[in-house]
A and B are shown apart, each in its own frame.
Chain A
Amino acid sequence: MTLEATFNLPFLFRRIPKTNLTITTGYNGAFCLLEEESNIEDLIRNNHERLPKEKISELEAKSLVSTQSEYALKASLHASSLATQIYRSLAKPSLFMIVPTLRCDHDCRYCQVSRAPINAEGKDLSAKNIDNALNLIESTSDEELKIEFQGGEPLLNFKFIKEFISKAKVKLKEKNVSYVICTTLTNLTNEIADFIKDENIQISASIDGDANTHKYNRPSKYYDSYDLLQDKRRLLSEKNLDSHTSYIATVTRPSLGNAQELAEFFFSLSIDSIFIRPLTPLGFASSTVRAIGYTADEYMDFYKQFLKEIIRINIQGTRFVDEMALIHLNRIFRPGSTQYVDMKSPAGLVLGGLIINYDGKVFGSDESRMLWEMTHSKELIIGDITLSSDLDFTNLTKTLKDSFLFALPGCSECAYQPYCGADPIHHLATQGDPIGNKSDSFFCNFQTLMYDMIFTMWHNSNDARKVFRTWLKL
Chain B
Amino acid sequence: MMTSPLKLKKNKYSEHLIRKSLYWLSKDCAWKFDENDTYWLISFNSEVDNCEQQLHKLLNDNILREELDKQTNQVRYDIILSALKKVQSDS
Contact = CB atoms under 8 A, between A and B. Distances in A.
Is B a genuine binding partner of A? yes
Interface of A: 7-11, 13, 15, 27, 40-41, 44-46, 71, 75-76, 78-80, 82-83, 86-87, 409-410, 413, 437-440
Interface string B1-39: 000000000000000000010011101000000000000
Given A409-B23, A410-B23, A439-B24, A10 B83 contact: no
Given A9-B72, A10-B76, A44-B68, A15 B61 contact: yes
A291 to B, nearest CB: 22
B75 A10 contact: yes
Interface in B45-75: 61, 64-65, 67-68, 71-72, 75
Contact of A439 (B23, B68, B79, B86): B23
A78 B68 CA distance: 17
Contacts of B61: 13, 15
Contacts of A40: 64
A7 B68 CA distance: 11
30 contacts: A8-B68, A8-B71, A10-B72, A10-B75, A10-B76, A11-B68, A13-B61, A13-B65, A15-B61, A40-B64, A44-B64, A44-B67, A44-B68, A75-B75, A75-B78, A75-B82, A79-B82, A80-B83, A80-B86, A82-B79, A83-B83, A83-B86, A86-B83, A86-B87, A87-B90, A413-B20, A413-B65, A438-B23, A439-B24, A440-B27
Contacts of A75: 75, 78-79, 82
Contacts of B87: 83, 86-87
Contacts of B67: 44-45
B23 A78 contact: no
A16 B27 CA distance: 18
Contacts of B72: 8-10
Contacts of B25: 439
Nearest to A28: B79
A28 B61 CA distance: 22
Interface of B: 20, 23-25, 27, 61, 64-65, 67-68, 71-72, 75-76, 78-80, 82-84, 86-87, 90
A76 B68 contact: no
Contacts of A9: 72, 75
Contacts of B65: 13, 413
A457 to B, nearest CB: 23
Contacts of B20: 413
Contacts of A13: 61, 64-65
Contacts of A78: 79
Contacts of A82: 79-80, 83
A78 to B, nearest CB: 5
A80 B20 CA distance: 30
A13 B72 CA distance: 14
Interface residues of chain B: helix, strand, loop or mixed (majority): helix
Contacts of B86: 79-80, 83
B75 A76 contact: no
A86 B65 CA distance: 24
A439 B87 CA distance: 33
A11 B68 CA distance: 8
- Centre residue among B23, B61, B68, B79 by max chain A CB count within 10 A: B79
Contacts of A413: 20, 65
A9 B25 CA distance: 28
Q: Pick the most buried of B64, B68, B72, B87: most chain A CB atoms within 10 A of its CB.
A: B68
A8 B76 CA distance: 11
The 9 closest A-B pairs by CB, nearest first: A79-B82, A82-B83, A83-B86, A10-B72, A83-B83, A79-B83, A79-B79, A10-B76, A78-B79
Contact of B82 (A8, A76, A440): A76
A223 to B, nearest CB: 43
B50 to A, nearest CB: 13
Q: Which of A11, A71, A78 has the most CB of B within 10 A?
A: A78
Nearest to B86: A83
Given A75-B79, A79-B86, A10 B23 contact: no
B75 A439 contact: no
Contacts of A76: 82
A316 to B, nearest CB: 39
Given A13-B64, A413-B65, 7 more contacts: A8-B68, A10-B72, A79-B78, A83-B83, A86-B87, A439-B25, A439-B27
A139 B91 CA distance: 19
Contacts of A409: 23
Contacts of B79: 10, 27, 75, 78-79, 82
A76 B61 CA distance: 28
B90 to A, nearest CB: 8
